[in-house]
Amino acid sequence: MDTCIPDIPTAAAPLTDVALCKWLGAAAPGDCITYHRGFLARDISPLTQMLPEPDRVALMRLAGRAWKLADADLAHLLQRRHGDEDYEYLIVARRRPRRADPRVLARLLKEAA
Protein backbone atom coordinates (compact mmCIF):
# COMPACT_ATOMS: atom_id res chain seq x y z
CA MET A 1 0.00 0.00 0.00
CA ASP A 2 1.29 3.45 -0.86
CA THR A 3 2.39 5.63 1.99
CA CYS A 4 1.17 9.20 2.11
CA ILE A 5 3.18 11.64 4.18
CA PRO A 6 0.96 14.60 5.05
CA ASP A 7 3.89 17.00 5.45
CA ILE A 8 5.08 16.33 1.91
CA PRO A 9 2.24 17.46 -0.33
CA THR A 10 4.49 17.30 -3.39
CA ALA A 11 4.60 13.50 -3.06
CA ALA A 12 1.14 13.46 -4.67
CA ALA A 13 0.83 12.93 -8.42
CA PRO A 14 2.22 14.18 -10.71
CA LEU A 15 5.39 13.23 -8.95
CA THR A 16 8.63 15.00 -9.82
CA ASP A 17 12.20 13.89 -9.16
CA VAL A 18 12.52 16.54 -6.43
CA ALA A 19 9.29 15.41 -4.77
CA LEU A 20 10.43 11.80 -4.96
CA CYS A 21 13.71 12.64 -3.18
CA LYS A 22 11.81 14.67 -0.62
CA TRP A 23 9.44 11.78 -0.01
CA LEU A 24 12.30 9.32 0.39
CA GLY A 25 14.07 11.68 2.79
CA ALA A 26 11.05 11.60 5.08
CA ALA A 27 10.07 7.97 4.49
CA ALA A 28 10.47 5.18 7.03
CA PRO A 29 11.93 1.82 5.90
CA GLY A 30 9.25 -0.12 4.05
CA ASP A 31 7.29 2.95 2.99
CA CYS A 32 6.22 2.68 -0.61
CA ILE A 33 4.98 4.99 -3.33
CA THR A 34 3.92 4.54 -6.94
CA TYR A 35 5.95 6.74 -9.20
CA HIS A 36 4.41 5.68 -12.50
CA ARG A 37 1.54 3.67 -13.90
CA GLY A 38 1.74 2.39 -17.48
CA PHE A 39 4.57 0.90 -19.45
CA LEU A 40 7.65 2.92 -18.58
CA ALA A 41 9.95 1.83 -21.41
CA ARG A 42 7.27 2.73 -23.96
CA ASP A 43 6.16 5.93 -22.24
CA ILE A 44 9.61 7.49 -22.07
CA SER A 45 10.58 6.56 -25.61
CA PRO A 46 10.68 9.59 -27.94
CA LEU A 47 9.55 7.37 -30.81
CA THR A 48 6.22 6.28 -29.40
CA GLN A 49 5.05 9.82 -28.54
CA MET A 50 2.78 8.49 -25.83
CA LEU A 51 3.21 11.64 -23.76
CA PRO A 52 3.70 15.32 -24.58
CA GLU A 53 7.40 16.17 -24.70
CA PRO A 54 7.59 18.06 -21.33
CA ASP A 55 5.76 15.22 -19.57
CA ARG A 56 8.00 12.64 -21.23
CA VAL A 57 11.15 14.47 -20.13
CA ALA A 58 9.78 14.84 -16.60
CA LEU A 59 8.94 11.13 -16.47
CA MET A 60 12.38 10.24 -17.77
CA ARG A 61 13.97 12.33 -15.02
CA LEU A 62 11.72 10.74 -12.42
CA ALA A 63 12.50 7.22 -13.57
CA GLY A 64 16.21 8.03 -13.77
CA ARG A 65 16.13 9.43 -10.25
CA ALA A 66 14.34 6.35 -8.93
CA TRP A 67 17.02 4.20 -10.53
CA LYS A 68 19.82 6.29 -8.97
CA LEU A 69 18.17 6.07 -5.54
CA ALA A 70 18.00 2.30 -5.89
CA ASP A 71 21.58 2.26 -7.09
CA ALA A 72 22.61 4.18 -3.96
CA ASP A 73 20.95 1.45 -1.82
CA LEU A 74 18.37 3.88 -0.55
CA ALA A 75 15.35 2.18 -2.12
CA HIS A 76 14.03 -0.91 -3.88
CA LEU A 77 12.29 -0.69 -7.24
CA LEU A 78 9.32 -3.00 -7.86
CA GLN A 79 6.71 -3.49 -10.53
CA ARG A 80 3.15 -4.72 -10.12
CA ARG A 81 1.47 -6.04 -13.25
CA HIS A 82 -2.13 -5.03 -13.78
CA GLY A 83 -2.59 -6.07 -17.39
CA ASP A 84 -1.02 -6.00 -20.80
CA GLU A 85 1.49 -3.13 -20.88
CA ASP A 86 -0.05 -1.85 -17.68
CA TYR A 87 2.38 -1.86 -14.78
CA GLU A 88 2.56 -0.04 -11.52
CA TYR A 89 6.11 1.12 -10.76
CA LEU A 90 6.81 1.23 -7.05
CA ILE A 91 9.68 2.54 -5.01
CA VAL A 92 10.16 1.20 -1.49
CA ALA A 93 12.32 2.99 1.06
CA ARG A 94 15.17 0.91 2.47
CA ARG A 95 16.71 0.95 5.89
CA ARG A 96 19.47 3.52 6.21
CA PRO A 97 22.87 2.90 7.80
CA ARG A 98 22.66 3.51 11.51
CA ARG A 99 26.10 4.90 12.03
CA ALA A 100 27.22 7.91 10.10
CA ASP A 101 30.78 8.53 9.11
CA PRO A 102 31.47 12.09 10.29
CA ARG A 103 34.61 12.37 8.18
CA VAL A 104 32.73 13.51 5.08
CA LEU A 105 31.18 16.53 6.76
CA ALA A 106 34.43 17.29 8.56
CA ARG A 107 36.29 17.20 5.25
CA LEU A 108 33.73 19.47 3.60
CA LEU A 109 33.90 21.94 6.47
CA LYS A 110 37.70 21.80 6.44
CA GLU A 111 37.81 22.56 2.73
CA ALA A 112 35.34 25.40 3.15
CA ALA A 113 37.32 26.96 6.01
Partner 1 sequence: MPPSLSLTDLEPLHRLADKHARRLCRSLHLPAHEAEDLRQDLLTDLLARLPDYAAERGDLRGFAATCFKHRAARLALWHRRERASRADVSLDDPLPGGEGLTVGAALAEDAGYGAWVGQPTDRIAMLERRLDLERAGQALSPDDMPLLAALARGDANAPAQAGLSRTTAFRRVQEARLQLLAAGVSSAA
Binder among 2, 12, 13, 25 for partner 1 (CB under 8 A):
25
User: In the complex with partner 1, which residue's Cβ is closer, 10 or 79?
Assistant: 10
User: Can residue 13 be called a binding residue for partner 1 (CB under 8 A)?
Assistant: no
Q: For residues 53 and 92, what is the distance between their CA atoms, to the nearest angstrom?
A: 28
Q: For residues 88 and 80, what is the distance between their CA atoms, to the nearest angstrom?
A: 5
Q: For residues 66 and 106, what is the distance between their CA atoms, to the nearest angstrom?
A: 29
User: In the complex with partner 1, which residue's Cβ is closer, 1 or 104?
Assistant: 104
Which of these, 23, 29, 42, 50, lies nearest to 87 by C-alpha position? 42
- For partner 1, the binding residues (CB under 8 A) are 17-18, 21-22, 24-26, 65, 69, 72, 74, 96-97, 100-102, 104-105, 107-109, 111-112
